[in-house]
Each structure stands twice: as structure tokens, then as C-alpha cells.
């Protein structure tokens, strides 16, 4: 009988096991897409691929094989923490960036976080197309392919978002806060990791996001020295509704608050004025 793994997040055995599992799932997704296995349906702006459910099942089975006896919560299955009171569980996004995955783009990842009292304490994010693996343990630093992320200073302020060039609120932010460079990426998790590694300085998203979008890359960014708030400048609080009003990820504390304040004053403030007109 296989003994249960020690769930201390600093245990290298558990990190190695999760890394191996996430890489296996990510590479399988890549192979499946290459063979034409992308099917699913659009619900509004969200694409729900069969690959999401398949990857969820594969990750769930793999985590069960670790003998941790912890619930697995994901976009595909919320029931473990809505029906029971748990202090530790796995939080999974099988395919973050599903639209990118379905449309043949590079910007999708598989990500897993170990949650303890609604805080991520271990995180793995794998981008199969780039063969990049980001990982972190609370208090132990963040890494990309085994190399510690130092968050080196940048000479030009860089914004990252979904499109080839800034659009909508991102365009306003880019122009009004004097960004010098812009870079494109699909997945929410991968964009946050790009901030953690120093490719970008800021990622801003005003729309609703969920726990599984944020938990793993949040810990990676935090351990690299970066900061993550919701779009209105509040701390991210996991659990409860699992919904958050957007996000601001930035390399510096001053910068993350400056972007949140800009959004509140420039965008939300204007909306309030417009709604009050006759």
C-alpha cells in the first residue's frame, strides 16, 4: 500500500509529484489538439471544451493517486467545498485559456494550487507550447523551469493583455499611465506568471475572474515579489463566492495600487456620473 504523502508544502516529494502530473496533462492536451481533438461549445464569450472535463478527470485521478485524500475543486466541479467544510483542498484549472487552446494559439496553461485555509501554499502552472513550468511554495520562492524568479528591474513600463495591441480599458490604461511597451498573451494564469518573471510590469483585467484563474499564479507572483489585488484595489479573498471583480497584477506595490486607483477614478467614477444624468 502506498503511504500518504506528507502534505507539508515544503515537502519536495509532493511538489515533484504535482509537477509530473501537470506536465503529463499539459503535454497530453497539446498532443490531443495537434490530432484535431478540439470540441466544445460557446456560452457567450466562454468556450467550454471537452478537453476541460477530460483534463479535470485526469488531474483528479492523478491527485487521488497521491493518497492525500484531499478534495479536488475545479471549474469543472465545485461540489467538494460547497457540500463540506474543508481546510485543505486542491484547486485546479485544467485548461486556463480555453479559447486560445481551441483556436490553436499558444497561450493556455494547466494549473494546480494546494489551498490551506483559503490561501494557496503550493502552486504549479505549466505552459505546454512554451515548455515552461512555473512553481512556488509559500515562503520558498518562485521558479521558472527550476530557475528562481528574481524580479529584476525594467527600464520600460510594459503592459500585458489578450490582444495584439491594447483595446478598450487596456488601451486607456496604456495611454494614460505612460506605458512604453505592450505584449500579448492568452491565459490569465500565464499573464500573471509573465509579470512574475519580469516580461511585463502590469496585467489589468476589469471583468469577473474566479478562484481557479488566480490561486496558483497568485502564489507564484507573490513569491517572486509581485502583488495582486482585485480591480478595485482590495485584497483577493479565496473561497465564499469564488468570484472576484477583476484583477491588477504588478511587479511593485506602488504600481498595483496606482492602477487600481486609476480604474476607480477614471472608469468607475465616470460610470457613476453617467448613471446619474437625466
Per-residue pLDDT of 1-14, as tens digits, reads 445 556 677 678 89
Rounded distance between C-alpha atoms, residue 166 and residue 159, angstroms: 9
At residue 66 the predicted structure's pLDDT band, cuts being 50, 70 and 90, is confident
Average pLDDT of the residues in 198-227: 96
Percent of the chain with pLDDT over 90: 63
Rounded distance between C-alpha atoms, residue 103 and residue 126, angstroms: 19
> What is the reported pLDDT for 213?
95
> What is the reported pLDDT for 89?
93
pLDDT beyond 50 at 42:
no
> What is the reported pLDDT for 12?
87
Asked whether the beta carbons of 107 and 26 are under 8 A apart, the reply is no
Average pLDDT for the chain = 86
Start-end of CATH 3.40.190.80 domains in the chain:
158-275
Rounded distance between C-alpha atoms, residue 106 and residue 225, angstroms: 26
Rounded distance between C-alpha atoms, residue 110 and residue 30, angstroms: 11
Closest by Cα among 211, 207, 208, 209 to 239: 211
pLDDT beyond 70 at 37:
no
> What is the reported pLDDT for 122?
96
Rounded distance between C-alpha atoms, residue 70 and residue 80, angstroms: 9
Asked whether the beta carbons of 176 and 262 are under 8 A apart, the reply is yes
Question: What nine digits make up the cell of 162?
Answer: 489578450
Lowest mean pLDDT among 40-49, 65-74, 197-206, 226-235: 40-49
Positions of E strands within 71-131: 72-74, 88-96, 109-116, 119-127
Which fold does the domain 158-275 belong to in CATH?
D-Maltodextrin-Binding Protein; domain 2 (3.40.190)
> What is the reported pLDDT for 268?
67
CA dihedral angle for residue 182, residue 187, residue 191, residue 193, rounded to 10 degrees: -150
How do 119-127 and 132-137 pair as beta strands? antiparallel
Start-end of CATH 3.30.540.10 domains in the chain:
12-148
> What is the reported pLDDT for 275?
35
Which fold does the domain 12-148 belong to in CATH?
Fructose-1,6-Bisphosphatase; Chain A, domain 1 (3.30.540)
Average pLDDT of the residues in 232-252: 91
Q: Which residue has the higher pLDDT, 127 or 65?
A: 127
Percent of the chain with pLDDT over 70: 83
- 259 CB neighbour count, 10 Å cutoff: 23
Closest by Cα among 208, 251, 202, 215 to 232: 208
Amino acid at each position: 500500500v502506498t503511504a500518504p504523502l506528507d502534505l507539508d508544502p515544503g515537502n519536495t516529494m509532493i511538489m515533484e509529484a504535482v509537477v509530473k502530473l501537470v506536465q503529463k496533462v499539459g503535454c497530453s492536451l497539446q498532443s490531443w489538439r495537434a490530432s484535431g481533438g478540439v470540441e466544445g461549445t460557446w456560452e457567450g464569450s466562454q468556450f467550454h471544451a471537452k478537453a476541460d472535463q477530460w483534463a479535470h478527470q485526469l488531474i483528479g485521478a492523478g491527485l487521488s493517486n497521491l493518497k492525500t485524500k484531499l478534495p479536488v475543486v475545479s471549474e469543472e466541479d465545485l461540489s467538494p467545498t460547497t457540500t463540506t467544510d474543508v481546510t485543505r483542498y486542491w484547486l485546479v484549472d485544467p485548461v486556463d485559456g480555453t479559447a486560445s487552446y481551441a483556436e490553436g494559439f499558444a497561450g493556455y496553461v494547466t494549473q494546480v494550487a494546494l489551498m490551506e485555509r483559503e490561501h494557496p501554499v503550493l502552486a504549479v502552472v505549466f505552459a505546454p507550447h512554451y515548455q515552461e513550468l512555473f512553481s512556488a511554495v509559500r515562503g520558498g520562492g518562485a521558479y521558472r523551469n527550476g530557475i528562481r524568479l528574481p524580479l529584476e528591474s525594467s527600464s520600460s513600463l510594459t503592459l500585458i493583455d489578450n490582444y495584439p495591441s491594447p483595446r478598450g480599458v487596456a488601451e486607456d490604461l496604456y495611454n494614460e499611465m505612460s506605458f512604453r511597451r505592450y505584449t500579448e498573451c492568452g491565459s490569465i494564469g500565464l499573464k500573471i506568471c509573465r509579470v512574475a518573471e519580469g516580461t511585463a510590469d502590469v496585467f489589468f483585467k476589469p471583468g469577473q475572474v474566479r478562484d481557479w484563474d488566480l490561486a496558483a499564479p497568485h502564489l507564484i507572483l507573490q513569491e517572486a515579489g509581485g502583488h495582486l489585488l482585485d480591480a478595485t484595489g482590495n485584497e483577493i479573498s479565496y473561497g465564499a463566492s469564488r468570484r472576484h471583480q477583476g484583477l491588477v497584477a504588478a511587479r511593485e506595490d506602488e504600481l498595483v495600487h496606482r492602477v487600481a486607483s486609476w480604474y476607480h477614478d477614471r472608469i468607475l467614477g465616470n460610470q457613476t456620473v453617467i448613471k446619474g444624468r437625466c
